[in-house]
Amino acid sequence: MPREFTPKVVTANTLLEGDVVYLTADDSWTRLLSEADILTDEADADLRLLTAESRASQVVGAYLADVSITDTGPEPTHFREEFRRTGPSNYFHGKQADLN
């Protein structure tokens, strides 16, 4: 039996800075997970990933990351994505600082 498809977002690192970014509904890149487009259909997710991968002058290493859907938008289901969303836990560096 095929496994049930769970919600995902497309994520990658920007080519120039290395920053973590997410694909939005209008195919642009955002640094905020809350603005990411949540993909609930497997075929759609695969297609969006291909689109992201084709934009090699903008991003590196695109992949699909699991999220759960909440009232406030997508939330990471794994702690790795939690750190990518904020930045390291030893300093207030990375996105948690840059976005302020």
Partner 1 sequence: MYTYSEFDAAFVAERNRQFRAQVARRVDGSLTENEFKPLRLMNGLYLQLHAYMLRVAIPYGTLGSHQMRQLAVIAERWDKGHGHFTTRQNIQFNWPKLADVPDILDALGEVQMHAIQTSGNTIRNVTADHFAGAAADEVADPRPIAELIRQWSTDHPEFQALPRKFKVAVTGSPMDRAVTLAHDIGLRIVRRDGLIGYQVIVGGGLGRTPMIGKVLHDFLPEEDLLPYIEAVVSVWNSIGRRDNKFKSRIKITVHEHGVDDIRARVDLRYALIRPQFSGIDQQMLGAIRDDFRAPEFRVAPTDTYDAARKANPVFRAWADTNLAEHRAPGYAIVSISLKAHGETPGDATAEQMRVMADLAERYGHDELRISHEQNVILPHIHQSDLHAVHAALREVGLATANIGLISDIIACPGMDYCTLATARSIPIAQEIATRFDALKLEHEIGEMKIKISGCINACGHHHVGHIGILGLDRAGVENYQITIGGDGGADARLGDRTGPGFSADDIVPAIETIMLTYLKHRSNPSETFLAAYRRLGMAPFKTALYGEAEAAKAAKRKAVADVAA
Token pair recorded at residue 8: 């995902």
We find the least distance from the C-beta atom of residue 6 to partner 1, in angstroms, to be: 12
**Contact call for residues 11 and 74 (beta carbons, < 8 A):** no
> Which range of residues in 3-11, 12-20, 36-44, 67-75 is near partner 1 by CB under 8 A?
12-20
> Which range of residues in 2-10, 14-22, 40-48, 67-75 is near partner 1 by CB under 8 A?
14-22
* CA pair distance 1, 73, nearest whole angstrom: 30
17 binds partner 1, rule: CB under 8 A? yes
Pick 73 or 83: Cβ nearer partner 1: 83
DSSP string for 8-71: EEEEEEETTT--EEEE-TTS-EES-GGGSPPB--HHHHHHHHHHHHT-TTTEEEEEEEEEEEET
Residue among 34, 44, 51, 61 that touches partner 1 (CB under 8 A): 61
Contacts with partner 1, residue ranges (CB under 8 A): 13, 15-20, 56-57, 60-61, 77-80, 83-84, 87-91, 93-95
